Structure 1
């Protein structure tokens, strides 16, 4: 889940005068990897896998109709509403097959044998509407097949055995439309499968014996589909009519387009091997999503053809699943209610991050190839990857080629590439665990460089950098100092005795910046050989951390340093530092690599995912595996901005790449709801709008949820108790808060 910082005015929520909760949650909606599908089942608290319907209310809760009652989902837990024979206002029957959230935000629940229920939000119980043989104004049948709201707000109920029913909101009665064998203008069958409305406000009804239209002006029904080009089966299970009046229906045998004026039905052939057993038709953008016994199919209404519903090209999404109903949120989440497999949550918007893992898995010691320690772009646009095994050529798409010969690979030889830098002749220097190497051209063999002044070969070179004057800056593991070496003259300069240097960064002014682990940052001017040390312990407390992991010079010439506590911004014109803290739970954390994209945004690889920072506003968002990353953990200084604008970060698990312009953030703050209240361990149900605590209470516990479902575990909160504890708590993913006696 992507988060936004710093805090924004207006992002605090106050519940009465009791508690305020500040939410840090937005989503990024995860186009490259495999389509993400999550399942909600017994492990998540869904005790029965038979789910028949799904709906979302105005507050943001997701409701599921199941064989075990109604379930309300808040992203963390299910709240169950079931029949209780000792509670008259409980759900009338646990078998729930149809639901509707109407334009008044009322939840209607159709049961199979218990009639119709209307959820009472204030008391969190139900009002029942049942068939009464003695009352012709009661519901016509207790088995509810369909619930529909017309544009005028009328509620229509389709039953199995009681025909079509129109609810009267004024006196809570029903007008029944049932089959009368002596009246040809009556409804043709008392089992109603589906209900729809056309642009002229006529009501269309699909029954077990035909398709019928009821004019808005009469109580009579007109039968359709009996012509030679009519329906292929009289049972009409689903109807959809768009704003233009175009009609699609599903019979027991097929799916197709129906033309009322000519009374003609044109079945549409399903993809090969599919069974056209459609239970529901749901509009989505320019398509219709068909819920079937064998998954979800996608029909493009504009092109009049089926399209693959799954990102991998499969015709069906969640194939081999008996899908009864789907619902698509505006954020791009699809919820599928399945008959035997619980709930499927499908991320329709594919991830923008591409991952390459298990690199060269056919080679021995293949795991070392997935350790991407360093990177450099080749002149032809491809990449050199420095791995834990050897230098590897990557074509930017899918092909990885080790530079090491197959003979050496089979002999289990390894050469860890810790760093790389180009010289002025486009030759590539490599700092490795077996010394310094040079690659004159992409097709050349590696040449080992003997550093006579350092004792010859096999000196581990942890870092190599090339400056504007042609000198190399080297960090050798054997010595606790930084070396500046001229390859042409063999002249050597030594700096920083007894310092644990991690890397050396050369800025645009040819100054060398040496990052250390524990001793801060050193600036070296090679023209004067002057050295300045900046650290967290100096008189000015210049830095927030003495652990420096990476450096980068931005478009505006400022230099950014990645530290174990966030970022340090250095402005050369004023020679001043500014600390940019990336805090979660009140604690800053390590930035390991950083890159600036062409729009000026900073991208930070951390041990907790990837961050995008606006350097002007200092607002940042972050992305995790829930947004499509293959890993949340990255390596220091393993980063590259490619010539095509792509950004790459390396980790011990492979390579991550993305187009920064394609990574969009969802800035909408989701609704926040209090979902539970406990006093001394006893639940207060229903959740009150205000609360009076007894004098002898010991602990008050409040549970809440941000009703965003992309990655609830990534949602972040701050809390405070207004007029008691007014200081905001640390940012946390915990969605409960407790207060002892106040």
Structure 2
């Protein structure tokens, strides 16, 4: 609390010169994407988005972009008056024509609130019972209970007035209503109203809030009040309030102070003291209708016509020509014994800045030239001024100038008073360095060992060495000798624009290639490769805490050397932090050597757009990490919905992720760390808000993302988005399966084709062999049999007669056997039907002679193999021959059947012949042998006759 009292005291003093400075306000209006510049309410939701209610549309802001919502998006009216987020995260919108609610990112209407469709809803509140209250402009308050029953309360029920601006519940569960005719409380079902008669300065109330100590604060048209018991303690313009007509109140969560928006600016109230802000300090409009303290510790102001203003704190103060400076190009700053600050400009002379205002000195007052490079005071408070056209000394209101004959080297770029030599050293632009002993000038140049004749800065170390920053490196003057250091000694660049002796006596250099620290022999270079945000460094300064401040053309770099030296990968303490106009600087482009630390420890930075005063003791760190949101997934030029299982077609493998880490303090300096799991990449760092991947391979991926703010605070949980890149159709399982089936089918087709072709060729060969055997061999044997018969008719000896008869019989027997062989080989006889025809022919030739009848079953076109058909037929012949010879049968039943896999052949007779002849004959052995050849089972059954049964695989 003591710290904030110091702030208040400081501001009370500094605002006596309010016309001479501006504070860091950042403005967002229509030009930035806001739908309308009249802002009625502000809300930061649980996802860190900022919602802005305007007189024309609703806006959602992520620190970078605005998203606008209008009636065509579902709003009941474009004039939005109030915003509220309930315990479930639903966002309620009070319009000029009723209420909307945002659930699941869609704007919806609530049917139970249809009675409010003609009402202007000025405030919305959810009490501890999770019941809702809606304050209207002229219709009192509406109450929505947990059963969606709605009721209305107005003046007739005890409200102070039907025009209600605010609803609030205190820690005791009492509901308070700010009306246009007093403060009404609802306790135990009873209404009671407090008015001017009870101590209010004005009955027209605008806002209510609860302080950190539970105090109820009331903003009225007559000032600020707090309620203590039933007594009001009020504060007005007489107590320092900027204006009595209060519009909004917000509690500063760090200090407990109040930010008060009025019709004439803003007041910060703490310990019964006010600090006031208006357009003179940077507000865009003095009518502040709403205030909001965000989770990063920033305060927002919604104005009437000026959009929204973000106040970044009191640690920066800016001065420009609008605050009285003669020129915005600042080249140097210094301070006299009285605490006045002197500011030199390039083209406008010099200015003295103090509590009395700003005093300008230029060539009209005797200054040798208005284009000033540098300034320094001597021990007698004489101000030495180096300009583009010589040296001036300002003492007791009079300028002493040196003409060209006294100082022929006119461009005085740097100045230093050396106690060791009791002389002044003047660095020139291109002519070397001058030593001035208050009487004579002596010149030292490159010929005497100076690194370069352009001398930008001069410092003196504890050992009385003088150090010169030049465009050729750094020169040390000791014992009347120059020692030069350059890139060969570790400097990142020989173009040195500023040097500094730090609190520990170390020499630092700011160069065109980065900064460097001298260890006594060599320089330790720190460049963008080491994390330095910029390489062109115009100056380097150190505050009382030991933090370095480096001026660049991108802003000011805050450099914590201890954090840099001891950095660990997991440290949240960042060595480098870039501060820009967005954080409060007057301009981003600094000027060479234009920095200064005054007697209070405040730092002054000169730029091309004015001078910034920085108060290190007021610097705060942003402890709120960014809130990360995936905004978009674009695949092949088309946006992909982020809900459910995400599948990306194979022809859309060029994928871009868009995201944002919400950080309002420094939205452009949020750093992201990301990786795509299953892609083979590790964690990557970027400040871009999108990442693109080209031609991802098919597979499952997870995009992981985390972020840190400009002060190094990482968000605790990383954001993940899983998706699948589908394989091309020729790589998918169904296509591969179809291809395999097709290949197998093709192989099977080819195999069958060649198998059938081979079978056809084999069958043709069989037919040809059968024909050849029948025609050639059969004819020859028949011819032999006929010749033997012919010879038998001749008169031959009996022994020869027997031989001829045997030859004839044997030839006919061979012809018969050959006929069976030819029949079995012939491919035209491969079916079961062909076999049965053959069998019937044989039966007809054998059994009728024995007067044996038969019945034959079996007629199919299924094919049988050659071996199977041949052996079945021979078994059949053997069985018929046995029946004819040995059975004494009168009837035979023959059955032959096949189903494509199995076959059965049965020959059954009703014979009664001697059983031993049937069982032990050679014929039965032959049948068993032939059955074995075809892997068939053969059985002989004596049951009402005799049966030969053969079964096997077809």
| TM score, norm. by length of structure 2 | 0.57
Change in CA separation of 1:375 and 1:47 when aligned onto 2, cut-off 3 Å: closer
Structure 1 residues 116-515: aligned runs within 5 Å = 116-117=100-101, 119-121=102-104, 124-131=105-112, 141-142=116-117, 143=119, 144-158=121-135, 164-168=142-146, 173-178=147-152, 194-205=166-177, 213-216=185-188, 220-222=189-191, 224=193, 282=250, 294=263, 303=272, 309-311=276-278, 318-319=285-286, 323=289, 325-337=290-302, 341=305, 343-347=307-311, 349-357=313-321, 367=327, 371-374=329-332, 377-378=335-336, 382=340, 387-388=345-346, 392=350, 394=352, 396-397=354-355, 398-402=357-361, 406=365, 408=366, 414=369, 416-419=371-374, 431-435=386-390, 446=400, 448=402, 457=408, 460-463=411-414, 465=416, 467=418, 468-470=420-422, 475=427, 479=431, 494-496=447-449, 499-503=452-456, 504-515=458-469
1:637 to partner: Cα distance: 2.2
Instruction: Pick from 546, 549, 553 the counterpart of residue 603 of structure 1.
Output: 549
Q: Which has the larger radius of gyration?
A: 2
C-alpha change, 1:44 and 1:638, in structure 2 (3 Å) is closer
Please give the root-mean-square deviation of Cα atoms over the aligned residues, in Å.
5.0
Report 1 or 2 for greater relative contact order, CA contacts < 8 Å, sequence distance ≥ 6: 1
For this pair of structures, how many residues does the alignment match?
655
More helix by share: 2
- Distance in 2 (CA, whole Å) between partners of 1:60 and 1:431 is 52
Does the CA contact (< 8 Å) of 1:376 and 1:384 recur in 2? yes
Q: CA deviation at 1:310?
A: 2.5
Q: Give the aligned partner of residue 658 of structure 2.
A: 703
> Is 1:35–1:312's contact at 8 Å kept on the other side of the alignment?
no
Alignment partner, residue 45 of structure 2: 57
Partner of 2:826: none
- Cα 1:695–1:342 change in 2 (3 A) is farther
2:470 to 508, 516, 533: 516
- 2:84 aligned partner: 100
Equivalent in 529, 534, 539 of residue 593 of structure 1: 539
TM-score, length-scaled by structure 1: 0.71
Structure 2 partner of 1:15: none
Matched, 1:721 2:686: no
- CA-to-aligned-CA distance 1:351-389 (integer Å, 9 cap, x gap): 43342547977xxxx54xx55434555566556655546
SS at match of 1:546: coil
Distance 1:277 1:176, change over 3 A: farther
SS state at 1:593 partner: strand
> Partners of 1:175 and 1:358 in 2: how far apart?
59
1:590 is displaced (CA, Å) by 1.6
Distance 1:396 1:727, change over 3 A: farther
Cα pair distance change 1:359/1:77, threshold 3 Å = closer
Shift, 1:53, TM fit: 2.9
Among 62, 72, 91, the residue aligned to 1:74: 62
Distance 1:49 1:592, change over 3 A: closer
Give the deviation of 1:558 after TM superposition: 1.1
User: 2:533·2:578 contact (CA, 8 Å) conserved in 1?
Assistant: no
Cα deviation for residue 414 of structure 1 reads 2.3
How far did 1:60 drift? 0.5
1:634 equivalent in alignment to 2:634: no
SS at 1:604 equivalent: strand
Task: Summarize deviations over 1:529-583 as a string: whole Å, max 9, x none.
Answer: 3634431xx3xx72222221111112212110111222100022xx232122356
More strand by proportion, 1 or 2?
Answer: 1
CA contact (8 A) 1:376 1:420 kept: yes
Change (3 A) 1:189 1:475: closer
Taking a change above 3 Å as real, the CA distance of residues 71 and 688 of structure 1, as seen in their structure-2 partners, is farther
Q: Deviations over 1:175-194 (max 9, x none)?
A: 3334699xx87989988654
**Counterparts of 2:675 and 2:500 in 1: how far apart (Å)?**
43
Residue in structure 2 matched with residue 45 of structure 1 by the alignment: 33
Q: 1:636 aligns to what SS in structure 2?
A: strand
Runs of 5+ unmatched residues, structure 1? 1-30, 132-137
Secondary structure, counterpart of 1:617 in structure 2: helix
Deviation at 1:647, TM superposition (A): 3.1
Residue equivalent to 2:513: 565
Contact 2:241–2:267 (Cα < 8 Å) also in 1: no
- Cα gap change, 1:52/1:663 in structure 2, threshold over 3 Å: closer, same or farther? closer
Map of 1:5 onto structure 2: none
Shift of 1:737: 3.3
SS at match of 2:31: helix
Q: For residue 691 of structure 2, what is the aligned residue in structure 1?
A: 737
Residues 702 and 550 (structure 1 numbering): CA distance in 2 closer, same or farther, change over 3 Å? Answer: same
Judging changes above 3 Å, is the alpha-carbon distance between structure 1 residues 352 and 430 closer, same or farther for their aligned structure 2 residues? closer
CA drift at 1:61: 0.3
Structure 2: runs of 5 or more not aligned: 1-14, 565-574, 697-954
CA contact (8 A) 1:248 1:255 kept: no
The residue that corresponds to 2:938 in the other structure is: none
Residue 662 (str. 1) matches residue 618 (str. 2)? yes
What is the aligned partner in structure 2 of residue 7 from structure 1? none
Q: Do residues 650 (structure 1) and 606 (structure 2) align? A: yes
